[in-house]
Structure 1
Amino acid sequence: METAEAGQEGVAGHRDTGSAPRRAGVRRALRTVSRPEPWKRGPVLVALALLLGLVMLFHARITGRGGIGSLVETFLPWLGLFVPVLLVGALRRRSAAAVAALLLPVLVWLNLFGPLLADKSRAGGDLTVVSHNVGADNPDPVGTARDLAASGADVLALEEITPQAKPLYEKELATAYPHHTAQGTVGLWSTLPLSDTRLVDIKQDAGPLGATKPAEVTRDYARALRTTLATDQGPLAVYVAHLGSVRVNPRGGFSTGSRDRGARALGEAIAAERNERVVLLGDLNGSMDDRAFDGITSRMRSVQAVAGDGFGFTWPATFPMARIDQILVRGVEPRSSWSLPATGSDHLPVAAKISW
């Protein structure tokens, strides 16, 4: 009777202590799964952070040359914006692992672009050069010409000049620049004498406004020229170029064929240039981080990279996101590089001071 009563009392009073530890263990396991330790939280964030760092680190091997690779390399600096986004997610999840993983993209980005953040400009300079894609749809070419003349540039290169706007630029710039040459869609205005001017065939297959034309160089459809500038320090070879635009279409996707073909031809022309001092001005429709320009960047230096302050983005003018307007040099020393205020074009003008 005592045993039976004791059993009944255990049932009635819920005195069975064996199930309590099991229930506590289950609750602890559930808490561990739902609230993992800081180093085990946010596996997706960790994976995304590592992927971001690896894309920036190995972009040359991942993307290939041209095409989508060009798109990635042109806008590569903007991948850094994903770091604060992932950091916010890591802090909200209280994931120590994700925060640690973000060190990879941060270090890679700083290694790639950190030097550009410093102001490398220096005082002085013997010659001021300016390049500007004036825009085929520019509603105010006269105002653009006056703004450029007021910049005080010794040498002024224009790209995307339309036949209708060409006389306006020539008239407005005549006083400030007594020497000039304008071939097709590109031109050069100078305070110093010019000689030995010739067209450069950069293998483009379109006319000045994108109309299909045979892949041959003519004065009407020229997109690049070369001339010699007479200076008190000797001759300076100056190239002006406007490479083909990149194309986005449903069938071909992101295409850089025309631009890449022009970059190779321009690189070959510069490689064959006998003058030791060379300046290249123009709208190259690409960043100098793009490997499509290896034939040029292996022989010339970007003034923005050597003597600029920041990235120097030039396009689009309303909210610049990429530097596709370039000034490159060989045999002279860049002193400073900067962008000029917006004109009626969708590009910003770029300027640089160089010294002998």
Structure 2
Amino acid sequence: MNQALSPARRRPHPAKGITALIFGILYASFLLLHDLLPTRMGIALIVESLLPWTGIFLALVLLMTLIRFSWLSVIGLVIPALVWTGMFGPALLPNQSAGDADLKVATHNVGARMPQPTAAAQNLVDQDPDIVTIQELESLSGKIIHKELDSAFTHARVVDTIGVWSKWPMSEPEEVDLGLQWPRAFATTISTDHGDIRFYAVHMPSVRPGHESMRNAALRRLSTVVKTDSADHVIVAGDFNTASTDGNLSTLVPQLEDSREQARGGFGFTWPARFPVTRLDHVLYRGFDASFDEVLERGSSDHRAVLAGLDLK
């Protein structure tokens, strides 16, 4: 007569953990192929802007593994974990700063309705940057910040709603045509103690899901201008309205390096200021190495300021 196997003698079902395996492989494939996401309705914009946060799915796979533990579920966890770590792990490594940088560059979108503009300006000045670029100067708060920075820096250049302040002399601003009806970028040559530096101050068009074509076109125009610039030392800084993980930023990144990516120390999210979930503000460059990249404490703007330390190569 057949007898049922005791629990201790039961063999594991061959399909145990298959759900975790399938889910893990699908998530890993999504990470590797995210640049194929459709742009309709802003799907790619939203997903790529929040891409590091999709690591929460690893926790879901881990939970599946703990509930239905098997070699299949372990593989389903390891594969996406390796892919996520390969993509985002380097950014989480600690910063290896070796001391003071040759120059410090700050960028901040001060917003249209900043309730404490004087404090925001002083917060930047207290960091002792060599070069500062500000976006959204058209508001009353922006005008107050403009005045405060004028008193702290010897040299300034302002075009419409964006400005650059420097400890060193600057050439007359040259507007960069981004295909818009109003100026949103300009270039100037800064005569630093380390030689001439070509500095681009930028504020890309705002973007909403499904309406990113204007911003993308502006990025391509800026990329063309920077590519044809023969200067050995170039800095492009400001509010790009483009996340570090947004594929559209790749039009600039192959030519330039990113201070946060090189300096490491975390993702460096800057927006929204109260609880940042993505990085829209960048310091990009060539001819330098980044020794540090800091996101300043939340002020009263909807963006947090970025301070980067750069060393000439």
TM-score by length of 2: 0.91
SS in 1 for 2:53: helix
Residue ranges of structure 2 left out of the alignment (5+ in a row) = none
**Offset at residue 320 of structure 1 (A):** 1.3
1:142 aligns with 2:103: no
**Structure 1 equivalent of residue 28 of structure 2:** 53
Q: Give 1:140-179 correspondences, 5 Å limit.
A: 140-179=116-155
1:194 aligns with 2:170: yes
SS in 2 for 1:258: helix
1:86 aligns with 2:42: no
Aligned partners of 1:194 and 1:228 also within 8 Å:
yes
1:226 aligns with 2:201: no
**Offset at residue 166 of structure 1 (A):** 3.7
User: Whole-Å Cα distance in 2 between the matches of residues 95 and 318 of structure 1?
Assistant: 42
**Structure 2 equivalent of residue 246 of structure 1:** 207
Which digits, 9 at most, give the CA deviation of each residue in 1:268-290, with x for residues without a partner? 11112122211011111112332
User: Whole-Å Cα distance in 1 between the matches of residues 172 and 11 of structure 2?
Assistant: 74
**Structure 2 equivalent of residue 267 of structure 1:** 223
CA RMSD of aligned residues (A): 2.1
**Structure 2 equivalent of residue 212 of structure 1:** none
User: Whole-Å Cα distance in 2 between the matches of residues 182 and 164 of structure 1?
Assistant: 15
Aligned partners of 1:38 and 1:97 also within 8 Å:
no
**Offset at residue 39 of structure 1 (A):** 4.5
Aligned partners of 1:90 and 1:96 also within 8 Å:
no
SS in 2 for 1:192: coil
Q: 1:329 aligns with which of 285, 288, 292?
A: 285
Q: How many residue pairs end up in the alignment?
A: 307
**Offset at residue 95 of structure 1 (A):** 4.2
User: Whole-Å Cα distance in 1 between the matches of residues 13 and 119 of structure 2?
Assistant: 60
CA separation of 1:320 and 1:163: change in aligned 2, threshold 3 A: closer
**Offset at residue 190 of structure 1 (A):** 1.1
Q: Give 1:91-106 correspondences, 5 Å limit.
A: 91-106=66-81
**Structure 2 equivalent of residue 116 of structure 1:** 91
User: Whole-Å Cα distance in 2 between the matches of residues 268 and 324 of structure 1?
Assistant: 20
**Structure 2 equivalent of residue 348 of structure 1:** 304
User: Whole-Å Cα distance in 2 between the matches of residues 311 and 170 of structure 1?
Assistant: 29
**Offset at residue 77 of structure 1 (A):** 1.2
CA separation of 1:160 and 1:39: change in aligned 2, threshold 3 A: farther
**Structure 1 equivalent of residue 37 of structure 2:** 63
1:44 aligns with 2:19: yes
TM-score by length of 1: 0.80
User: Whole-Å Cα distance in 1 between the matches of residues 123 and 158 of structure 2?
Assistant: 19
**Bigger CA radius of gyration:** 1
**Offset at residue 176 of structure 1 (A):** 1.3
Q: Which runs of 4+ in 1 moved over 3 A?
A: 64-67
Aligned partners of 1:181 and 1:187 also within 8 Å:
yes
Aligned partners of 2:48 and 2:246 also within 8 Å:
yes
Aligned partners of 2:90 and 2:264 also within 8 Å:
no
User: Whole-Å Cα distance in 1 between the matches of residues 256 and 104 of structure 2?
Assistant: 18
Question: Percentage identity across aligned positions?
Answer: 32
**Offset at residue 65 of structure 1 (A):** 6.8
